[in-house]
Every structure is written in structure tokens, then in C-alpha cells.
Amino acid sequence: RLDHALYALPGPTIVDLRKTRAAQSPPVNSAAERPPREGKSRFQILLDVVQFLPEDIIIQTFEGWLLIKAQHGTRMDEHGFISRSFTRQYKLPDGVETKDLSAVLCHDGILVVEVKDPAGTK
């Protein structure tokens, strides 16, 4: 799950999978991997949240927008005291609802929010 090749942080990525697939050479021995379905776009956001604990992060949707907020209280670091917070908003693609989204906080501090794969494609 650590394929963070996009690393365009922060920001949404909407990829036309037809173009991506055409640009890639076919993988060798890829029986375990399924190629993306033709004609589908993927919505994915990668955020570097390494400075925050999972309980510091709030993910919400509201009227077609995805809101990601994080805040931690004052902490001591090597330079003194510090507190951090951020709020990001992203317009969801048409037809994407809250139930369609999944969020994963990877061990390297990258938060991945994306549209879930349809049932039966994994």
C-alpha cells in the first residue's frame, strides 16, 4: 500500500485511467494485479500528516466537498513549543458520495483518501 509515486502533496489527483494504462508497458507476471477498468477516472488525495496523530485528523463531506482538518495542541520539540493545524477542501467529482470514499493513514504519515473500488474488483 506504499505506492506513493504521485507525491503531489497536497492536492487531489484525478487520473484518466485509459491514458495511464496506454502509457504504461504491460507488467510481467501480473496475475495477482487487475488492470483499472476502461473509461473510469480515479479521485485520490495524498496528504503528508506525519506531524499529527490519527485522533487529530477529521475527515468530513458536505454538499459535494471533502473537508480534511487536523490540529494538535501545543507540544515541545527541539526548538521550543509548537502547535499545528490545517484545513483543506476539495470539490468531489460529480456522483461521488460519502459512502464511496475510503481513507487510510499509512505508517509513513501519508493520508490517502480515494474512491473505493467497486465491489468485486479486488
**For the segment 4-46, what is each residue's pLDDT rounded down to a tens digit?**
444 444 445 555 555 544 554 444 443 333 344 444 567 899 9
Region of residue 39 (left: phi > 0; alpha: psi -120 to 50; beta: else): left
State whether the Cα torsion 47-103-2-57 is positive or negative: positive
**For the segment 47-57, what is each residue's pLDDT rounded down to a tens digit?**
999 999 999 99
Residue 111 confidence (pLDDT) above 70: yes
Question: Has residue 36 been placed in a domain?
Answer: no
SS3 readout for 77-122: ECCEEEEEEEEEEEECCCCCCHHHEEEEECCCCEEEEEECCCCCCC
Question: Has residue 98 been placed in a domain?
Answer: yes
Domain of 86, in residue numbers:
44-115
CATH of the domain at 92: 2.60.40.790
pLDDT level of residue 106 (50, 70, 90 thresholds): very high
Question: Has residue 63 been placed in a domain?
Answer: yes
pLDDT at 95: 87
Question: Has residue 30 been placed in a domain?
Answer: no
Question: Has residue 28 been placed in a domain?
Answer: no
Residue 93 confidence (pLDDT) above 70: yes
pTM of the prediction? Answer: 0.63
> Total structural domains in the chain?
1
Question: Has residue 5 been placed in a domain?
Answer: no
* Residue 82, C-beta contacts closer than 8 angstroms, at least 6 positions apart: 74, 75, 76
98: nearest Cα among 64, 47, 56, 55: 64
